[in-house]
Amino acid sequence: MSTIFQRAHLLNPAENLDATGSIRIDGSGFIESVSLGSADMPHNDDDRVIDLDGKLLVPGLFDMHCHFREPGQEYKETLETGSSAAAAGGYTGVALMPNTRPVIDSPLGVAYIRHHSALLPVDLEVIGAMTVESRGETLAPFGKFRSYGVTAISDDGTAIQNTQIMRLAFEYASNFDLLIIQHCEDKTLTKGGVMNESHFSTILGLKGIPDVAEAIIVSRDLQLMRYLQQHKLHDPLNQPRYHVAHISTGAALDLVRQAKLDGLQVTCEVTPHHFTLSDEDLFLAEAKGNFIMKPPLGSAENMQALIDAIADGTIDAIATDHAPHAAHEKDCPPDQAAFGITGLETAVGLTLTELVSKNVITMQRAIEMLSVNPRKIMNLAPVHFRAGEMANMTIIDPEVEWTVTKDDMKSRSQNTPFIGRRLKGRAVGIYHKGALLENR
């Protein structure tokens, strides 16, 4: 029995495809044929025919920045519940950050994730730690990570503060073509901070996090990259690749923008909450726990800088930084709240509502940022709509209007500031690993 998606709006920027058409998939999950045009695809009596009636069929979305908490904090999220949340949000693959308990700083942790995720509905890529226990002191075994198929490393949650260790990380990672993903934060400036340092933090009496803390680390790292490249202190054919996680300030964006013009292999991502909310939203919120995150929600000016950088192409990808926490870790005074929010199930709706519907970017650009570019940055194979390829697709209804509710969420945690928010556009299903999962 084959599955046929017909009368779909096929949109795949990886192959410059934007047309009405149909796709036939065999019983093993491989694409049998693709036809363009509005005519129905011929089918047999036992075929499953799904009329998408103009809904988008796009390459499966990929989130390159997630926390599923397993091993060690399964009360917040597990590989299974995180995968359910990802599928509900339209994601067929995610990359997991290594700051679990224990930290994934060796191939043993990679093997654990791979073993326990084999039968889950989405692909789980593992990002290895940059340093042992993410302490910033001793480099993790990059070569062994690479032999286990790891393509990126990060001490997410903290930046390497020691510049010599960071230099060694650049040199070591370039030998194995590993992407360095940096959480850019000068911790000497942010210690004890709760929210963006501004008049809002002063009024609330909360210790502020100065936004310059992000740009300082970005600047240091980019200067290291320039030094290593100019002085050819490593193989010139293996240049370091550097990715700024959840970028949040105009100053950091200016540095990345210039680095790209200078030819450095630099990319960056933005989260939906940073281009949707500002520190004023935290100030006005009655319950503030779900507005506490790192980097913190910034000023209105920084939020606009992010939107401008999405529009001009400086920002490469949209990532959720899905960070589930139990209710008691958020339903508390803001200076005691855990940092981070969930994001997998709201990302598509926020992107289409705040960016596409407001003509900041096109739908094609949105799919590039949600699917094509994250895979490219992570050195993962692109998704094609071609005969013989394994079907990996997300179905999006760009017109449906819906309200975010706790009851509909698949994540084990519901720590999001978007409960009650009305959105336009939603992922309504995925087809991956030979199975169709619909989001009703």
- Annotated binding site for substrate: which residue ranges? 67-69, 99, 325, 339-340
Backbone angles phi, psi at 93, to 5 degrees: -160, 150
Inter-residue contact 4 to 22 (CB < 8 Å): yes
> Is residue 321 annotated as part of the catalytic site, yes or no?
yes
Which residues are documented as binding site for Zn(2+)? 65, 67, 156, 183, 246, 321
Which residues are documented as binding site? 65, 67-69, 99, 156, 183, 246, 321, 325, 339-340
Instruction: Say how many C-beta atoms besides its own lie within 10 A of residue 53's C-beta.
Output: 10
* Distance separating alpha carbons of residues 177 and 334, to the nearest angstrom: 40
Which residue do the tokens 């129905």 mark?
A: 40
- Round to the nearest angstrom and report the end-to-end CA distance of the chain: 24
* Distance separating alpha carbons of residues 322 and 156, to the nearest angstrom: 12
Annotated catalytic residue, options 312, 321, 397, 408: 321
CA angle 122, 124, 128 (to 5 degrees): 170
Single-letter residue type at 51: D
* Distance separating alpha carbons of residues 416 and 50, to the nearest angstrom: 33
Helix (H, G, I), strand (E, B) or coil at 247: coil
Inter-residue contact 95 to 63 (CB < 8 Å): yes
Element (H, E) at 303: helix 300-312
DSSP secondary-structure letter at 390? B
Catalytic residues: 321
